[in-house]
């Protein structure tokens, strides 16, 4: 398979590393030809530039990797979205990563399926409408939780406490939520209606925004139990 990859950011770099020895691969950064001899062109750049770049490319199949962007309205358009958080420095286990694929031409779907198999990922046929909704959920489980880690680290710094003490429970949380289901895995003072502990925590938190977020999340957890 002839594959062209446009983009040398976090995802583009990882895709290059996994595809380089599996397909006939060409890798481009900001300077790329508009006419490319390839079975598929993967555009992995910022969401704001994706549509413009895809429209410039002349190739049988041009796919983007943007989770929040719908498939473009072109006869050769498609989506090749690995639902994962990529950073250049972090190792990737591709066998665990779901690939959400979609094409405007049904004849092209086999190309994307073959590419996912070459990478070793998990294959899902997902429409743009479904994918954008999944993207919102992905932000909640990944970006929002990581922000909470950041706030917890700052809270530890305020009191000169070792953040590493929290590593074990940070690693435990996602695995338990997957094993039991998020609702069953929920614990903590808000879950059991322990207002005294919640009040004590709020008095200890120095950052006003963190205090407000703690209060809102506690209220949300408590109300969820009433449903």
Ranges of residues in the chain with a pLDDT under 50 are none
What pLDDT, on a 0 to 100 scale, did the predictor assign at position 226?
78
Residue ranges of the domains in the chain? Answer: 2-126, 133-226
Give pLDDT, residue 143: 95
Phi, psi of 144 (to 5 degrees): -65, -45
**Per-residue tokens: 110:** 């086999």
DSSP three-state, residue 206:
coil
Please state, rounded to an integer, the average pLDDT across all residues of the chain: 96
With helix as H, strand as E and coil as C, how does 62-101 read?
A: EEECCCCCCCCCCCCEEEEEECCCCCCCCCCCHHHCEEEE
Q: How far is CA 170 from CA 59, 62, 109, 152, 158, in A?
A: 45, 39, 38, 11, 19
Instruction: Name which of 61, 174, 156 is nearest 111 in CA terms.
Output: 61
State both tokens at 3: 């594959």
pLDDT tens for each residue of 104-141: 999 999 999 999 999 999 999 999 999 999 999 999 99
Please count the CA atoms within 13 angstroms of the CA of 64 that sit on its side-chain side: 26
At 117 the pLDDT is 96
| CATH placement of domain 2-126 | 3.40.50.720
At 208 the pLDDT is 96
CATH 1.10.1040.20, domain 133-226, yes or no? yes
The pLDDT score that the predictor gives to residue 225 is: 83
In this prediction, residue 24 carries a pLDDT of: 97
- Which residue's structure tokens are 């979609």? 102
Rounded alpha-carbon distances, angstroms, from residue 114 to 10, 101, 111, 227? 23, 11, 5, 45
């Amino acid at each position: 398979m002839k594959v062209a990859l446009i983009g040398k950011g976090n995802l583009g770099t990882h895709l290059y590393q996994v595809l380089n020895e599996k397909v006939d691969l060409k890798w481009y950064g900001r300077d790329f030809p508009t006419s490319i001899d390839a079975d598929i062109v993967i555009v992995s750049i910022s969401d704001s530039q994706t549509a413009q770049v895809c429209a410039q490319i002349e190739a049988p199949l041009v796919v983007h990797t943007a989770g929040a962007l719908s498939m473009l309205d072109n006869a050769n358009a498609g989506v090749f979205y690995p639902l994962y958080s990529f950073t250049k420095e972090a190792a990737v286990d591709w066998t665990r990563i779901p690939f959400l694929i979609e094409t405007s031409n049904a004849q092209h779907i086999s190309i994307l399926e073959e590419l996912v198999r070459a990478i070793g990922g998990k294959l899902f046929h997902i429409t743009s409408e479904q994918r954008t909704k999944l993207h919102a959920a992905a932000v909640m489980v990944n970006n929002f939780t990581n922000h909470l880690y950041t706030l917890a680290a700052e809270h530890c710094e305020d009191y000169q406490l070792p953040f590493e003490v929290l590593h074990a429970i940070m690693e435990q949380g996602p695995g338990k939520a997957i094993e039991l289901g998020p609702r069953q895995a929920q614990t903590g003072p808000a879950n059991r209606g322990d207002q005294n502990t919640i009040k004590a925590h709020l008095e200890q938190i120095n950052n006003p925004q963190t205090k407000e977020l703690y209060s809102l999340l506690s209220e949300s957890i408590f109300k969820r139990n009433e449903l």
